[in-house]
Amino acid sequence: MPMPRRRRRRGYPTAVLIGLEGRRASLWNIFSESVQPGSQAQGEDAYGFYESVVDLLRPSVKRGIKSILVAAPNDRDYAEFMGHLEKHQGWLLKGWSLNTVTFERIPEPAMSIDQVRALVRSERFTEKLSSARGDDAKRVMDALEKLLSDPEGIERILFTIKEVEDAVHGRDPRPEYILVTEKFRSTHARRVGRLLQAASNEGIKTRIVKENTPAGIRITQFGGLVCITPG
């Protein structure tokens, strides 16, 4: 009797990789334990093409995935893409820290699955991903620390899973951002899994952080779960 195939673990989402060459783009979803192909875009008109790439990024950004790696072997391709964002999609690069996206360039191709497999095994990829996630985490933690230092701001923070569940499932205030450590997620796997899925369905940004990072250490001090609600 044949053995059942073991399901490969996907992990949790960490970033988006964009393979960019000329007027073609291939998007890849980066998870903690795997890489999955996303959508593709192409076009002759520069404005329309770059706008289509942004449209493909929107769902991930709204879920809280704000680390974007752009694999562009050609300097000009990357410069034109970032120039378009600065001119037409400034919300991705500026504004409130919980909404800003971090872009990092890798001068390697990522248009095909073979190219992506080679890329994600490289030290350069690991360094760029770590840099992007580190910058993003710092902005989020700066916003959190600012709230914690303000008597009124601290009222916007929820620390228990019951409070966060109530907020996600409809009781005001509806959360803006949920941060949870890997250990807390593992310890309360089913409950946290349901919570994060419900949050994603409601368009609430979520982020899972490692304990050995500055953000993870700080969140662990609060029990492993922190939720930011609107002011």
For the chain, how many structural domains are there in total? 2
Summarised one tens digit per residue, pLDDT across range 54-91 is 999 999 998 889 999 999 999 999 999 999 999 999 99
- Write out the residue range of the structural domain in which residue 44 sits: 13-135
Contact 144, 157 (CB under 8 A): yes
Residue 10 confidence class, pLDDT cut points 50, 70, 90: confident
Kind and range of the H or E run holding 93: none
Question: Does a structural domain hold residue 143?
Answer: no
The string of DSSP codes covering 15-53 is EEEEEEETTEEEEEEEESS-EEEEEEEE-SSHHHHHHHH
Residue type, 185: R
- Of 135, 165, 194, the residue that ends a domain is 135
Q: Percent of the chain at pLDDT above 90?
A: 79
Question: Does a structural domain hold residue 8?
Answer: no
- Virtual torsion, Cα 175, 180, 184, 188, nearest 10 deg: 40
Average pLDDT, the chain: 91
Kind and range of the H or E run holding 83: helix 75-88
Question: Does a structural domain hold residue 117?
Answer: yes
Beta strand 35-42 with 13-21 is: unpaired
Task: List the CATH number of the domain containing 210.
Answer: 3.30.1330.30
Let me know whether 17 and 129 are in one domain.
yes
